[in-house]
Structure 1
């Protein structure tokens, strides 16, 4: 049993590492070519559509872009597509390992929607597939001819989807799925549209035919969408480490605002690379949106009048604070079955992340984490598998407030 669990943990680690590495490769090449294309000097006469001189690593690079393909493509021609495919495939494998195999913990929360694990998995798979079909259909319709109108509709769909996911899955899974939904669109754009269109254009040019301009227009539209969606996807993928992002009642609003931050940040860099100025106002707007997100994540705290500044409160305050005995009993009854020296929850052989909560000293030492994970947010227990009550969460908040004010 131990060997199987250990192998599973290392498999998850390996797939996660692969996912991060391939994502870095995809995002890096994507951002580089966007910056390169926007910054090309197109005023130089000649057959090239534009050129650029760059310096890196002690060497100088002279880069030229041609719209006309050579008669015979060189053997070393590089197609930037495998980074996208590998990122999606590794991400989908990770989705299976973490959220499907661990559906009872990470995917389905009966307090949100009481459905069986297989039902949650089915909704997950259907939403990813349906999302791409709906997006692709809208882009190919007459409505998609107007890019501004199209982007506004797509944003409205993402907002609606953010709300939908928070009404079906755990907060952690909701944001993760919003990221997976968006990443599926991005990777499918490469696999189903951008690369096939590029191959059609190359074949026409090699055959001496004039390519239909629509293929380039369509590919550019999808590439632009990918450009503006990349940063929000990264945020969604990182969010599962931060309960204040995924485990509040305003999670869907937070997710909606994240997409706006992606637009403002990319607008700055796109403008800069295109030599259209440095719109620093985008950073101010981004900071304001982020402050709004911070406020939304702690809004219940303000309403409950439990705002605090932890500062340098001494640990002894927590053990002496009013309500500690009740909190000790709550933690022992709701948390220690997993977070103990010898966990007795089926399938867990060691305390998750090494956090042990089976002694008074452990509880005091992890006071802030208990408050954040189980008091301020509902991140723990996962899917509320130990059925912690709301009055128990309130007791944790009251105890923490009394301790830091003591």
Structure 2
């Protein structure tokens, strides 16, 4: 396909994904807020959980929630599903366009595991399906009757999966895989649990039967899971643009921290909306967690198999000169990052970054250190064979002679 057309396909797919994700997240956050803000009143009809009054756009809104279903089915009923479906479909499309189509560069790191592109894609798709099945199995097991125990088990499942993905894929690919897995869990909750349970409720009403209250309870549990997973998913999706979050030694631990920090922030807002005592401590937990993530990212990239810390040159305070850095960059980077790239399929320097002169190298000193010294983000899949020793030199370089 023509590169110009492919570039626009990528951009428009990403735009669609962001727009539908905003719509899905917005409706999810709103309904969790609405559910938490309901208040019991003596005058309410039988079978209602409570009511809420809100003001927006110059008018008042009066909402009531029925625990199971209203006495009669209304003539018009708004469903909230297409936001979730379109977000997942557009997200998977982007996975295909970027990570599956370019698996040899973006998904595979031969120093982690030498996979063929088709193998990496197959493992990725299988991991999405297996992750959903494992999570769904936990929810349907006896653990599903205890929200705290289920949350703990789900946390262990996600952290263990993150560790496993870092042993299969590149750091960036592993973290995007985790974001895609959690997004798949959330979309599947809507498609396979929440919507079917709502349809069963309506079908029972149309037959003149009383709907099963367990259907609504299970749907609400999955909706709450989606609410708590949203912030970590957003972090992982935007985090693939930030190497220190995705391509350093303890990236899977950073995933664990983000899960806790994101849940703590959501707990703060959910508690506030429910009128409970304000849990200000959650911001302390989130801040401490992110400080820990920053600290962990400073340990640098993971060592390739068979390498050892002893082979690395002096630490970050060592004095490194431009000449030494220029030799590494000219050998490992300029086949792509040059005014006239020589790497097959690259016609212009990625992101317009050229590194084919000392002045250009100095201008991008910070990015070089982060992308190739402190992390393994560059070169993609380490296709030019940047060694651990060379990365240590780039990590130690400050850009100042």
- Tell me whether the two structures share a fold, i.e. TM-score over 0.5: yes
For 1:88-107, list aligned pairs within 5 A.
88-107=88-107
1:311 maps to none
- 1:260 and 2:270 aligned: no
Task: Provide the C-alpha distance between the structure 1 equivalents of 2:247 and 2:196, rounded to a whole number of angstroms.
Answer: 40
2:245 maps to 245
Per-residue CA distance 1:77-100 (angstroms, 9 max, x = gap): 210000000000000000000000
3-state SS in 2 of match to 1:241: coil
2:132 maps to 132
1:306 pairs with one of 293, 297, 316: 316
Task: Provide the C-alpha distance between the structure 2 equivalents of 1:288 and 1:307, rounded to a whole number of angstroms.
Answer: 27
For 1:115-264, list aligned pairs within 5 A.
115-264=115-264
1:383 pairs with one of 378, 381, 384: 381
* Farther-moved stretch of structure 1 (137-146 vs 219-228): 137-146
Q: CA deviation at 1:329?
A: 1.9
- Asked if structure 2 preserves the Cα contact closer than 8 Å seen for 1:264 and 1:283, the reply is yes
How many matched pairs?
A: 387
* Farther-moved stretch of structure 1 (327-336 vs 54-63): 54-63
- Please list every run of 5 or more consecutive structure 1 residues that lacks an aligned counterpart in the other structure: 309-320
- Please list every run of 5 or more consecutive structure 2 residues that lacks an aligned counterpart in the other structure: 302-308
* Farther-moved stretch of structure 1 (42-51 vs 193-202): 42-51
Q: CA deviation at 1:379?
A: 0.8
2:75 maps to 74
Q: CA deviation at 1:322?
A: 4.8
3-state SS in 1 of match to 2:240: helix
3-state SS in 2 of match to 1:80: coil
Q: CA deviation at 1:299?
A: 2.8
3-state SS in 2 of match to 1:49: strand
Per-residue CA distance 1:162-201 (angstroms, 9 max, x = gap): 1000000010011111111111011000000001101111
1:337 maps to 335
3-state SS in 1 of match to 2:157: helix
Q: CA deviation at 1:280?
A: 0.6
Give the CA RMSD over aligned residues.
1.8
3-state SS in 2 of match to 1:154: helix
3-state SS in 2 of match to 1:348: coil
Q: CA deviation at 1:59?
A: 2.4
For residues 137 and 397 of structure 1, do their structure 2 counterparts lie closer, same or farther at Cα, with a shift above 3 Å needed? closer
- 1:16 and 2:17 aligned: no
- Asked if structure 1 preserves the Cα contact closer than 8 Å seen for 2:337 and 2:355, the reply is yes
1:355 maps to 353
- Asked if structure 2 preserves the Cα contact closer than 8 Å seen for 1:337 and 1:345, the reply is yes
TM-score by length of 2: 0.92
Per-residue CA distance 1:41-97 (angstroms, 9 max, x = gap): 22241225322221222222222323434645424x210000000000000000000
For 1:358-369, list aligned pairs within 5 A.
358-369=356-367
Per-residue CA distance 1:380-406 (angstroms, 9 max, x = gap): 001101111122222223332xx44x5
1:296 maps to 296
3-state SS in 1 of match to 2:51: strand
Which protein is richer in helix relative to its size?
Answer: 1
- Asked if structure 2 preserves the Cα contact closer than 8 Å seen for 1:44 and 1:50, the reply is no
Task: Provide the C-alpha distance between the structure 1 equivalents of 2:73 and 2:29, rounded to a whole number of angstroms.
Answer: 28
2:86 maps to 86
